[in-house]
Structure 1
Amino acid sequence: MDLDPETGAAIEGWPHVAQSLQTILGTRINTRVFRREFGSDVPALVDAPMNDENLLALYVAVAEAIDRWEPRFDVTNVGISGSASGAITMTLQGSYRPDAHLTDTTHVSDSVQTIRVTRDRVDNWSLAA
């Protein structure tokens, strides 16, 4: 269970996973004081030129960070798109495993979950489930 940063209400289940993914992908490695390894390389890569090499590095950074820090989401597909304004949108698809943080990976929700994480030029990360 966690708190919604906008409302202050408690959240759990899929909304908590979606918030966790946003936090993981939006946090640079080495920026958390007592957990330096937490986060991902995504913030360092989103401003790089979107050539084949950097796109591959971005896919790898997303997959590695989610695999390490969010066991309740099993990524099956990552889509990345950019806009002329400089915003980048990552569309993540995968299976929600509600008990994986308790090491029970046998229970998987039936539907494929989709989440979009967007970052604009001023380093604002937003989420649309």
Structure 2
Amino acid sequence: MAGVDADTGLVLDGFPHVEQSLGKIFTTFQGERVMREWFGNPGLKLLGENATERTVLLWFNVLWMLTELFEPRFKIRQFVLNDINRLGFGDFTINGDYRPFGHLDWQQTAMFVSIEGGSVIVRPGN
């Protein structure tokens, strides 16, 4: 599965395409894309919250669900929290498996991920 490099416009394939895809998934606000309002990261609402254990776990849950929904070529196995401080800086590592042919047996589901009342809700999309 190939795509277009967002910076250069050249063909992008393999794991670099997965990295770009995950970056777009994680940093796009939900509703930001006009033709794909269901696409995006509802966890960005958590930015500015206190970095409690609950908030960090909620953030990791949202990233895991978004990866499962939108990027079949990467399977998250582990999150490692490297550093977090009072200024709001958080550094973490995502460990997972690159599955270059994961998209071949994948059917996209119409799901909507949201944060309601401090929990992650996954429901069928409209």
- Alignment correspondent of 1:40: 41
- Alignment correspondent of 1:101: 103
- Alignment correspondent of 1:90: 92
Give the superposition deviation at 1:16.
0.2
d(CA) in 1 for partners of 2:12, 2:91: 24
- Alignment correspondent of 1:79: 80
- Structure 2 portions without partners, runs of 5+: 107-126
Q: Which range moves more in the overlay, 11-20 or 41-50? A: 41-50
Give the superposition deviation at 1:48.
1.5
Residues matched between the structures, number: 104
Change (3 A) 1:85 1:53: closer
Using the size of structure 1 for normalisation, the TM-score is 0.71
Give the superposition deviation at 1:56.
1.4
Q: Which range moves more in the overlay, 77-86 or 40-49? A: 77-86
Give the superposition deviation at 1:32.
1.4
Give the superposition deviation at 1:84.
5.8
- Secondary structure in 2 aligned to 1:35? coil
- Alignment correspondent of 2:121: none
The reply on whether 1:18 has 2:26 as its aligned counterpart is: no
Runs of 4+ aligned structure 1 residues displaced above 4 Å come to none
d(CA) in 2 for partners of 1:9, 1:84: 40
Give the superposition deviation at 1:74.
0.3
CA RMSD of aligned residues (A): 1.8
Tell me if structure 2 keeps the 8 A contact 1:26–1:42: no
Q: Which range moves more in the overlay, 66-75 or 31-40? A: 31-40
Give the superposition deviation at 1:85.
5.3
Give the superposition deviation at 1:82.
2.9
- Structure 1 portions without partners, runs of 5+: 105-129
